[in-house]
Structure 1
């Protein structure tokens, strides 16, 4: 059965959490959806676990995009921007923006019809040198907020902050060219999770939305899009991909 088409309105963001677990048969089907470049990239992973997760994540992205564009998943071709952010290479009837993040056993896919979007997913089970990363990559505002925390709050606060910072810079498509110590996000427990300031782009807090996402247990996630804060966006969160 062909999955139903996904129709995106201008004021909508669609988000998917996708499990990266599957049988050998499911993995073979997913692998067949990838193009030669993706298959080559998958083959470079040293560990089977990482290779299989890459295959499932990128096949899931193709399936989602195919449902929007009404094309076969293997027919999609991608290109990359100056900072490496992928986009669809072939012409489409309307703009379509997407982003993919994967961590441990899940992937997160974000779609927007008209607005550049970024998503980030992090697994809180990995070892992190919190204070070292904060000192190197957090802004002055964020360091002040971090200093006010109790050590017991570090793990939760760090991943709240990191997913939001990553989602924002991915929405910009700027990569490492937009240094993370120059912009600040709200990662307080009671905060809205938005962009507070960007020294490199002072108008950005009014031009970008940034929001946390309710993620599976053990994960943190966020999405951002270049759409004015005044515009109300409807968010649809899909827990599984069918």
Structure 2
């Protein structure tokens, strides 16, 4: 078997039910309660609960005990990229030790919420819900390089939105894997064309580190584009769990699971 294994779990905004709040830690509960927008509050709840269920199963921990931390690199507040932070005194071989080699990424768009988990590399996941009223022109001017813009406008109008979203998800996944988010201008990161295997063609000059990056395209519900990126492979490879839908591309082996089913089965 080739490729690096990544498990991706998809859930929906409609999976947000009150009982899932029992899985949140105190910091997450405060953020949940303070989120005014109902849809944003629901997506946050589903993303946290699903992350805890998936990681708890992988690490052999109760979901509520999974040590998730969010620290903003600019202000130190509890709203930065979420990551595993095992206790520093956890002995080798215990579930806590897995935190050094397990990474995950959370994404949401519209009613979709996804969680990707990977061992041996930094993983990034992005999804974009397709819809007809998207302003592709404005978004493309912000996100695409000059070469990518020219290629986009060489397409018929009807093909531009799906082509743009495929490119956008690849870029977002790469930046999430690097842990820099939108702190790096998307125009300076160039990726391969939508019909080509996903790959980074040009890196932003300001990036100090440019690791080996492997990628895979995914489609959710047959219509919504998503992408997975993994930076910095580990020496060993682990097999993904049996079941799910497998996608192989660009050195990443993706196994897709039903996150809605996992949330419904947790009994919260």
Classify the TM-score, shorter chain.
0.7 to 0.9
1:11 pairs with 4, 29, 32, which one? 4
Deviation readout 1:139-181 (Å, 9 max, x if unpaired): 1221121121111112211211111111010000012332211
SS of the residue corresponding to residue 43 of structure 1 reads helix
Quote the residue 2:63 is aligned against: 73
Aligned alpha-carbon RMSD (Å): 2.5
Change (3 A) 1:50 1:177: closer
Alignment map for 1:133-152 (pairs within 5 Å):
133-152=139-158
SS of the residue corresponding to residue 108 of structure 2 reads strand
Quote the residue 1:221 is aligned against: 226
Deviation readout 1:39-63 (Å, 9 max, x if unpaired): 1212223233332232122101110
SS of the residue corresponding to residue 93 of structure 1 reads helix
2:85 pairs with 64, 89, 108, which one? 89
1:42–1:55 CA contact under 8 A, matched in 2: yes
1:110–1:119 CA contact under 8 A, matched in 2: yes
Change (3 A) 1:233 1:123: closer
1:125–1:218 CA contact under 8 A, matched in 2: no
SS of the residue corresponding to residue 123 of structure 1 reads coil
Alignment map for 1:160-175 (pairs within 5 Å):
160-175=166-181
Alignment map for 1:91-130 (pairs within 5 Å):
91=87, 92-94=96-98, 95-125=101-131, 127-130=133-136
Residues of 2 paired with 1:239 and 1:12: CA distance? 17
1:32 pairs with 9, 18, 22, which one? 22
SS of the residue corresponding to residue 30 of structure 2 reads helix
SS of the residue corresponding to residue 224 of structure 1 reads strand
SS of the residue corresponding to residue 128 of structure 2 reads strand
Deviation readout 1:194-213 (Å, 9 max, x if unpaired): 22221425984x71012211
Instruction: Kindly state the Cα deviation for residue 131 of structure 1 after the two structures are TM-superposed.
Output: 1.2
Residues of 1 paired with 2:132 and 2:26: CA distance? 31
Quote the residue 1:237 is aligned against: 256
Long gaps (5+) in structure 1: 1-9
Residues of 1 paired with 2:189 and 2:61: CA distance? 38
Long gaps (5+) in structure 2: 75-79, 88-95, 234-248, 263-268
Residues of 1 paired with 2:253 and 2:190: CA distance? 25
SS of the residue corresponding to residue 125 of structure 2 reads strand
2:9–2:258 CA contact under 8 A, matched in 1: yes
Quote the residue 2:241 is aligned against: none
If the length of structure 2 is used for normalisation, what is the TM-score? 0.76
SS of the residue corresponding to residue 117 of structure 1 reads strand
Moved more, 194-203 or 163-172: 194-203
1:20–1:57 CA contact under 8 A, matched in 2: no
Residues of 2 paired with 1:234 and 1:52: CA distance? 30
If the length of structure 1 is used for normalisation, what is the TM-score? 0.84
